[in-house]
């Protein structure tokens, strides 16, 4: 490869890897498996080795991805949080052992541990008390998430100060067991909230919640694997970990002391299979030199210790036969192809289906019915087809073609220029789209109607009891009770909850209608400018776009919605049932104490959530803004106000008010 070609490829790889880092560490929404990520990093490392002139300090091979987010205060780690060199090959583990023994000129004991797949945390203890818990961040500094960490039962908040060093740091991995993860995603599905891709993302996302009460409800676990300090009790890792266990830290008993590399290999091979019986995910095994003296002799590279290495398990791959491809219609009309497979065992579960994403993916794989396909489960819940065994293709087998018409309602599908997905434009009468709108309407952030999850909506729809949102208000208990799976109690609950929803404020109703592009914020803006639904219906494009935040796209969608005869009829029926269609009849201002004040919220609060404070500000006549400017009246600051915000507030001499002072100001007893 020429230098110029290498430069181009290196740049492309760096952009791609940085993008994946952002998705993984910040958004907690990875797009590729760890294995695929490691392939990219490997390719980049190899190229940088070959062309050292092209190495830059900011290359992702020299930097650790960062999870830092702006809502938290950042703290510098006393000991940097490095990553681990990793490999998928036993050969490289042997090479690691050779290097280590040569460097210290002695036989070496290793400690083998499981590599937990979660989010890492570093906790400093002072006189036996938690002083601070910080995420890995970029390895140098991370986010202070102490209030969240204190909610985790596995983590001792206080240890007898007479038995521990005055100051020490423990590190571990915050994880969710698969069963807690499944329960969490079930709840999210019922609430119509985007699902977490895997337990790791769920754990990392939970750590960064601003409300410790929600963190507490998520049943996080923490496994400890590292202790650091100036005066640790033992000169070896294994005994220190055993002692940490006695102090109350959850050090899993899978930890093993191995006398040599043969025993290390036994450990790896054992867990490659046994991991399937664990209640949580691991993605490999970590091998550490036991002696702390040897550890410091071996030292560190810029990114990782030379005294440890991770052996990663390959995402399991099996082959099976493609039976057929089904096309599913989502809530918004999106069409997703799904492969039906001959059932096969993969990573402990029987797989019958795999996602195929879109037409491009099908063409890329050149998929034929009856093909032998390779499927893999990376970190994601849904396995995917990663290739086709072409040597096994039957003569004359037919190529998988994408469909042209909606499988649910027969409408001609549309694919917009530059987009990967097909969608069904029959917004009003395509059943999954109708059900999707009803599910959105009843979801927690919208009308918050209890007892109507996806399955119940499906049931009521199939029985002809509901075919739009207005029908919900005509449900009668006696229609519900005889339905299978419902019964007296659930039926009564649904009816009560539908009734309670009549109290939802006007802006919530606007959001719940599911008008395209009208999210929560736009709905609030609309409700403020157009005080009744009739004013909104009467507004033309010019009046709509005159409102801040409303552009032609949103305006067009609002107008189209209210022009539709069926929607008009639905609104008329909802109105006659008593749904709030004007500002002021409910959610009316509590006071005008904050009239004309622009308030920025920062930090974590005790009495209300941030969302509640936003509402309180608005209900008392104030306006919430996300950035500090000379116009800001004051900042409502909880614990852990972001340092950048603090600095800007001082610069602009904007007042900072704490939670208690604020509640006093608006007259709420604290």
Task: For the segment 230-269, give every residue that binds ligand IVH (CB under 6 A).
Answer: none
- Choosing from 109, 173, 211, 359, the residue that interacts with ligand IVH (CB under 6 A) is 173
Q: Is 203 in the site for ligand IVH (CB under 6 A)?
A: no
Tell me the C-alpha distance between 236 and 232, whole Å.
Answer: 9
- Choosing from 84, 241, 424, 457, the residue that interacts with ligand IVH (CB under 6 A) is 84
Q: Is 120 in the site for ligand IVH (CB under 6 A)?
A: yes
Beta bridge partner(s), residue 139: none
Q: Which residues have a catalytic role annotated? A: 115
Beta strands 634-637 and 598-602 are parallel
For ligand IVH, which residue has the nearest CB?
A: 120
- Closest to ligand IVH by CB, 97 vs 659, is 97
- The site map against ligand IVH for 264-303 (x = CB under 6 A) is ----------------------x-----------------
Question: Under a CB-based contact definition with an 8 Å cutoff, are residues 607 and 527 in contact?
Answer: no
Q: Is 605 in the site for ligand IVH (CB under 6 A)?
A: no
* Smallest separation, CB 242 to ligand IVH (Å): 15
Tell me the C-alpha distance between 231 and 168, whole Å.
Answer: 8
Question: Under a CB-based contact definition with an 8 Å cutoff, are residues 597 and 634 in contact?
Answer: yes
Q: In 391-406, which positions are buried (b, 16+ CB within 10 angstroms) versus exposed (e)?
A: eeeeeeeeebebeeeb
Q: Is 308 in the site for ligand IVH (CB under 6 A)?
A: yes
Instruction: Give the interface segment with ligand IVH, choosing from 79-87, 99-107, 523-531, 533-541 (CB under 6 A).
Output: 79-87
Question: Under a CB-based contact definition with an 8 Å cutoff, are residues 86 and 309 in contact?
Answer: yes
* Smallest separation, CB 10 to ligand IVH (Å): 23
Task: For the segment 451-490, give every residue that binds ligand IVH (CB under 6 A).
Answer: none
Q: Is 85 in the site for ligand IVH (CB under 6 A)?
A: no
CA distances, 485 to each of 189, 198, 432 (Å): 19, 30, 21
Residues 6+ apart with CB under 8 A from 558: 515, 518, 526, 536, 539, 544
- Choosing from 115, 208, 524, 614, the residue that interacts with ligand IVH (CB under 6 A) is 115
- Choosing from 205, 233, 248, 305, the residue that interacts with ligand IVH (CB under 6 A) is 305
Q: How many chain residues bind ligand IVH (CB under 6 A)?
A: 15
Tokens of 618: 């608005």
* Smallest separation, CB 282 to ligand IVH (Å): 8
Q: Is 526 in the site for ligand IVH (CB under 6 A)?
A: no
Task: For the segment 309-338, give every residue that binds ligand IVH (CB under 6 A).
Answer: 310
Question: Under a CB-based contact definition with an 8 Å cutoff, are residues 466 and 475 in contact?
Answer: yes
DSSP 298-356: H-B-SSSBTTEEEEEPPPPEEEEEEEEEEEEE-TTSBEEEEEEEEEEEETTEEEEEEE-
Q: How many angstroms separate the first and last alpha carbons of the chain? A: 69
Instruction: Give the interface segment with ligand IVH, choosing from 110-118, 501-509, 514-522, 535-543 (CB under 6 A).
Output: 110-118
- Closest to ligand IVH by CB, 152 vs 329, is 152
Q: Is 145 in the site for ligand IVH (CB under 6 A)?
A: no
* Smallest separation, CB 358 to ligand IVH (Å): 33
Q: If we measure between CA atoms, which residue out of 68, 53, 63, 253 comes closest to residue 143?
A: 68
Find how far residue 669's CA is from the centre of its chain: 36
Task: For the segment 210-229, give every residue that binds ligand IVH (CB under 6 A).
Answer: 225-226
- Closest to ligand IVH by CB, 225 vs 311, is 225
Q: Which residues bind ligand IVH (CB under 6 A)?
A: 82-84, 113, 115-116, 120, 136, 173, 225-226, 286, 305, 308, 310
């Amino acid at each position: 490869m020429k230098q110029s070609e290498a430069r181009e490829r290196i740049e492309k790889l760096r952009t791609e890897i940085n993008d994946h880092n952002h998705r993984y560490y910040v958004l907690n929404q990875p797009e590729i498996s760890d294995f695929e990520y490691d392939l990219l990093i490997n390719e980049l490392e190899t190229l940088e080795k070959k062309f050292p002139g092209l190495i830059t300090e900011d290359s992702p091979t020299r930097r650790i991805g960062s999870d830092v987010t702006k809502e938290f205060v950042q703290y510098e780690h006393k000991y940097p949080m490095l990553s681990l060199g990793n490999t998928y090959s036993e050969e490289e583990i042997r090479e690691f052992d050779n290097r280590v023994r040569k460097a210290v000129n002695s036989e070496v004991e290793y400690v083998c541990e499981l590599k937990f797949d979660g989010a890492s945390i570093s906790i400093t203890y002072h006189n036996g008390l938690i002083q601070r818990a910080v995420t890995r961040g970029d390895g140098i500094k991370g986010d202070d998430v102490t209030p969240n960490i204190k909610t985790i039962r596995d983590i001792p908040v206080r240890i007898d100060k007479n038995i521990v060093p005055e100051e020490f740091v423990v590190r571990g991995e915050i994880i969710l067991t698969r069963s807690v993860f499944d329960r969490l995603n079930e709840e999210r599905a019922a609430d119509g909230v985007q699902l977490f891709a895997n337990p790791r993302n769920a754990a990392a996302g939970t750590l960064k919640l601003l409300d410790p009460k929600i963190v507490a409800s998520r049943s996080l676990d923490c496994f400890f694997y590292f202790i650091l300090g100036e005066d640790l009790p033992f000169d070896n890792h294994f005994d220190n970990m055993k002692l940490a266990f006695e102090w109350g830290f959850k050090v899993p008993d899978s930890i093993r002391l191995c006398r040599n590399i043969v025993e290390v290999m036994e450990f790896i091979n054992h867990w490659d299979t046994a991991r399937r019986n664990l209640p949580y995910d691991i993605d490999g095994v970590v091998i550490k030199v036991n002696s702390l003296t040897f550890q410091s002799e071996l030292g560190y590279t810029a990114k990782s210790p030379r005294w440890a290495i991770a052996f990663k398990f390959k995402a399991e791959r099996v082959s099976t036969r493609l039976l057929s491809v089904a096309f599913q219609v989502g809530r918004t009309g999106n069409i997703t192809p799904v492969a039906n497979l001959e059932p096969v065992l993969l990573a402990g579960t029987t797989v019958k289906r795999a996602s195929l994403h879109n037409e491009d993916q099908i063409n890329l794989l050149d998929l034929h019915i009856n093909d032998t396909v390779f499927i893999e489960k990376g970190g994601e819940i849904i396995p995917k087809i990663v290739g086709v065994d072409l040597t096994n293709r039957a003569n004359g087998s037919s190529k998988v073609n994408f469909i042209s018409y909606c499988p649910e309602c027969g409408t001609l599908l549309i694919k917009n220029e530059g987009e990967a997905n097909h969608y069904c434009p029959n917004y009003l009468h395509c059943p999954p789209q109708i059900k999707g709108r009803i599910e959105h309407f009843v979801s927690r952030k919208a009308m918050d109607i209890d007892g109507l999850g996806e399955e119940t909506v499906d049931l009521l729809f199939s029985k002809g009891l509901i075919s739009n949102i207005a029908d919900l208000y005509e449900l009668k208990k006696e229609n519900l009770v005889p339905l299978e799976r419902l019964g007296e109690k659930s039926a009564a609950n649904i009816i009560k909850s539908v009734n309670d929803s009549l109290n939802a404020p006007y802006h919530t109703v606007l959001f719940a209608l599911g008008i395209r592009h009208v999210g929560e914020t736009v709905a609030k803006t609309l409700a403020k400018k157009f005080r009744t639904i009739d004013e909104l219906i009467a507004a033309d494009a010019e009046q709509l776009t005159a409102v801040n935040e409303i552009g032609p796209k949103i305006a067009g969608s609002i107008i189209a919605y209210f022009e539709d005869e069926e929607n008009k009829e639905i609104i008329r029926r909802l109105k006659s049932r008593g749904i709030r269609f004007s500002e002021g009849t409910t959610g009316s201002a509590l006071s005008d104490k904050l009239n004309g004040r622009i308030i920025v919220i920062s930090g974590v609060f005790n009495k209300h959530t941030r969302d509640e404070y936003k509402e309180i500000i608005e209900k008392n006549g104030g306006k919430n803004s996300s950035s500090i400017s000379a116009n800001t009246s004051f900042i409502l600051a909880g614990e852990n106000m972001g340092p950048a915000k603090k600095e800007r507030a001082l610069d602009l001499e904007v007042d900072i008010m704490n939670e208690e002072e604020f509640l006093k100001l608006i007259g709420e007893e604290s």
